[in-house]
Amino acid sequence: MLNVSQISKTFNPGTVNEKRAIDSLSLRLAPGDFVTIIGSNGAGKSTLFNAVCGDFLTDTGSILLNGQDITFMPAFQRARHIGRLFQDPMRGSAPGMTIEENLALAAGSGGWLSHVSQRDKKRFRDRLALLDMGLEDRMKQPVGLLSGGQRQALTLLMATMNPPWLLLLDEHTAALDPGTAEKVLKLTREVVEEHKITTMMITHNMNQALELGNRTLMMDAGRIVLDVQGAERKSMTVSDLLKRFKAKVGEDLDNDRILLS
pLDDT tens for the 261 residues of the chain, in order: 999 999 999 999 999 999 999 999 999 999 999 999 999 888 999 999 999 999 999 999 999 999 999 999 999 999 999 999 999 988 889 999 999 999 998 888 655 555 788 898 999 999 899 888 899 999 999 999 999 999 999 999 999 988 999 999 999 998 888 888 888 898 899 999 999 999 999 998 889 999 999 999 999 999 999 999 999 999 999 999 888 888 887 777 765 455 545
125 DSSP 8-state letter: H
Q: What is the dihedral of CA 26, 7, 196, 89, to 10 degrees?
A: 130
Backbone angles phi, psi at 84, to 5 degrees: -145, 135
Output the pLDDT for position 114: 58
Is 175 within 8 Å of 110 (Cβ atoms)?
A: no
Is 36 within 8 Å of 208 (Cβ atoms)?
A: yes
The model's pTM is: 0.91
Name the percent of the chain in helix, strand, coil, to the closest 5: 40, 25, 35
Is 73 within 8 Å of 115 (Cβ atoms)?
A: no
Output the pLDDT for position 116: 80
Distance separating the N- and C-terminal Cα atoms of the chain: 31
Give the span between the Cα atoms of 41 and 38, in whole angstroms: 10
